[in-house]
Structure 1
């Protein structure tokens, strides 16, 4: 998530592919932190950066400058080695780099009207995808090589999504997700699900990528709000959860498993069998948990679900009791860790476990309190 034109001290924030680490880019440089302990792992003061992407826990970074110095052009992508502190390779483009995504086999570079796909190891260009004007660099990427997809906007007037198979280098499908233009997207790490939000921000929709069909529709709220981030929970953990942050200042967590169980029961009922899905989107309960006033309204933020632990000895037809660890970065410079406890009746309670200033922390401060 980049924020190049903002007065906020954080210009960019992202988690690595398994959310074990996160990085923030500032006007002075960038910092890498351990998600579990909050420990500062690496710091580099070399100017303003609008993109800093990690490759899991390796020493490789893909970085793009904010253009405040001639040597840090927003049109130049640098592959940087944190161990040696030196650049490995540079890629120069005709226009600004708006987003970067990568895994162990593919490097994706998103420009305003083109997206380039490279081999990560050789940095050889494999394909170019022409796109509609994508001024915000909106994209989604699944880092798992077995289900590695890239999602890009396919319209400037409505929420049409192009899903591209970056391993086979071919379009996979198009999904007509919203009537309004897209504001945010995320793919689950295994490439199974795509979650989308439009500029209205009232509905979050989840699609099954393999069949390009809608699986879930969640109502975030009644009034429009800008969606800042969407993030699926860790792979291979139940229940399936989706986190969203918005300009309202609240954090929403949607429960896919609960919605699936409710849908199964509904389809077996007489009323459920005759009502169309569009009516169910209105009538169904929201299946989500809300952390109100996590940050001030209008402050850009980024949340991920770091861990989901199912409570032992619990079982229910609807929802397994669990404990969720959620991490939140506010672009004003603060990090928060919340613990969310959910019981078998989908009742929840939140507690703030940790909070610190990302801009002033050193390696001895950011430990769990």
Structure 2
């Protein structure tokens, strides 16, 4: 985590006025008191926050607040966004919000919520966006469209594509994308999909190898991105049957340990802790190991049914 906070934003659900999906309450978990309440004309679809900003997404508007005073700082009119699709980087140095820019194609808008201005628009896919995620430092954004065959990664500062990964040849719904924690280039990106598998992309190694190839060869320097993407190796690994096919699942990279070559200080391998939770109540934790030769291994460390654990009041949680 980049920061910790005693604040929790809770959105209601149900028919009672106090549980309205148009009502947001900001709670202090230390005191148990509600600090402020915000009410909107339509349902709240997503909430994001950091030390300085609170972001509330509705279907066709996005509100940015100062989190200390809850003064509204900006209102953004958006295209219809019924699923609340967005990405947010909590870093104050690269605090960006990404939201869809179109309902017919996979373009997105990136806002700097600290400076309260539009940073850029990125055309990432031909089909509408299904999900996206920003790296924790706000340097990279990964996207997937409703087709789900390609995962694309862009460098935020220049709005340029850094890499494209092919997940598969057949369409699939991408449920989640997650970068590993990073200071510069994140070493790993994972995606969960309706196929039930988790797809693992060694991002740092792929970007470094692509940069070397482009800078070292004439053909690489003049080739259009669309052609070079097709020629690039997949750099793709799969954790099969991590969840039942069709069941929503979310994955988070909780930790990444890097292994350097002492003689060059180059990162030659990394080990990541992957946590997966599914909508049918299961939790899994894997250890993933990969290196710059595209060799990959994984081991399942823990697996249990959350509903059973909660019912049994198991103290291990």
Find the partner of 1:292 among 207, 223, 240. Answer: 240
CA positional deviation for 1:312: 6.1
Match of 1:256 in 2: 203
Match of 1:303 in 2: 251
Contact 1:315/1:344 (8 A) holds in 2 = no
Contact 1:100/1:110 (8 A) holds in 2 = yes
Find the partner of 1:330 among 278, 292, 310. Answer: 278
Q: Which has the higher contact order (CA 8 A, sep 6+)?
A: 1
CA positional deviation for 1:148: 0.7
CA deviations 1:286-306 (Å, max 9, x no partner) are: 112211110011111111111
Contact 2:149/2:167 (8 A) holds in 1 = yes
Find the partner of 1:345 among 293, 296, 305. Answer: 293
CA positional deviation for 1:316: 8.4
Distance 2:171 2:265 in 1: 34
Contact 2:135/2:186 (8 A) holds in 1 = no
CA positional deviation for 1:350: 1.2
Find the partner of 1:108 among 55, 79, 94. Answer: 55
Match of 1:272 in 2: 220
* 1:74 and 2:21 matched: yes
Distance 1:314 1:81 in 2: 46
Match of 1:243 in 2: 190
Change (3 A) 1:315 1:350: farther
Q: Structure 2 length normalisation: TM-score?
A: 0.92
Alignment of 1:1-369 (within 5 A): 17-18=1-2, 56-67=3-14, 69-236=16-183, 240-267=187-214, 268-311=216-259, 320-362=268-310, 364-366=314-316
CA positional deviation for 1:314: 6.9
Please state whether the residue corresponding to 2:228 is helix, strand or coil.
Answer: helix
CA deviations 1:300-355 (Å, max 9, x no partner) are: 11111111112366778996122110011111111111001224522111111112
Distance 1:271 1:163 in 2: 32
Please state whether the residue corresponding to 1:359 is helix, strand or coil.
Answer: helix
Contact 1:206/1:215 (8 A) holds in 2 = yes
Contact 1:319/1:346 (8 A) holds in 2 = no
Q: Structure 1 length normalisation: TM-score?
A: 0.80
Match of 1:32 in 2: none
CA RMSD of aligned residues (A): 2.1
Distance 1:314 1:220 in 2: 34
Distance 2:218 2:119 in 1: 36
Please state whether the residue corresponding to 2:299 is helix, strand or coil.
Answer: strand
Match of 1:8 in 2: none
Change (3 A) 1:200 1:223: same
Distance 2:229 2:264 in 1: 24
Change (3 A) 1:193 1:271: same
Distance 1:366 1:237 in 2: 34
